[in-house]
Amino acid sequence: MTTQPLQALIFDVDGTLADTESVHRAAFNQAFAELGLDWHWDEALYTELLEVSGGKERIAHYWRQVHPDVKPLDGMALDETIAHIHELKTAAYERAVQEGAVALRPGALKLIEAAYNEGLALAIATTTSPVNIAALLRGAIGPDWRSFFQVVEDASTAPKKKPHPQVYLQTLEGLGLPAEACLAFEDSGNGLKAARAAGLDTIVTPNAFTAHHDFTGALRVLPSLEGVGVAHLRAWKADAPAS
């Protein structure tokens, strides 16, 4: 049994706070089309590609595995080309979010607000870009979204992608709390591995792209955060076996 009282909640973003992956997939395809690339990621392929954490890493993996003959655009180096594709993709995603294509998953905002009002520290630990985070949470929470979160770690501050625990270790350091005093929220197998490697009890809310993942070791696996309150989290954390 754990003895540390619950003091902080740490949230992943894509797939966890919001069902963003369909919009991300459309944005990738739009970027490919803008550059005249004959690439198209359908839902089945994108589900496989999500095993690779990080958008740039996903592009590089696909390029190496499926189109090793494709040359960088206009004489640019490979890394520069991938960065350019990802830049166009990010712009397309941000436009879609601004147009209302993405909303927070059921129960997510209510839990964030309840935890904040009860004095729990809140943090974000994600491998997505800061632009993507801001686009989503500015629309879902408001222009002052950042004031809810004591710590925000993302792809710009934690370059080692999940399942590496870097983003969670840095988040715990920023919070100044031990893992035993926190709960993580994830949607994927890689996310769960990263959180558990940092010693965090983890609640998983799978989505259509991650439902087939292995969630062994999760504290709870739930369809969403709808109906989940701080009292539930405290009880589940208190009953969790020692990490």
Catalytic status, residue 187: no
Q: Which amino acid is at 129?
A: S
The closest alpha carbon to 123, from 204, 11, 4, belongs to 11
Task: List the structure tokens of 139.
Answer: 């629309």
Q: Which of 12, 19, 187, 201 is catalytic?
A: 12
Task: List the structure tokens of 181.
Answer: 């005093």
Catalytic status, residue 38: no
Q: Which of 14, 154, 187, 201 is catalytic?
A: 14
CA distance 76 to 101: 33
Burial of 70 (0-12, 13-18, 19+ CB in 10 A): middle
Q: Are 33 and 91 in contact (CB under 8 A)?
A: no
Give how far Cα 158 sits from Cα of 6, 14, 23, 41, 163, Å.
25, 16, 23, 27, 12
Active site residues: 12, 14
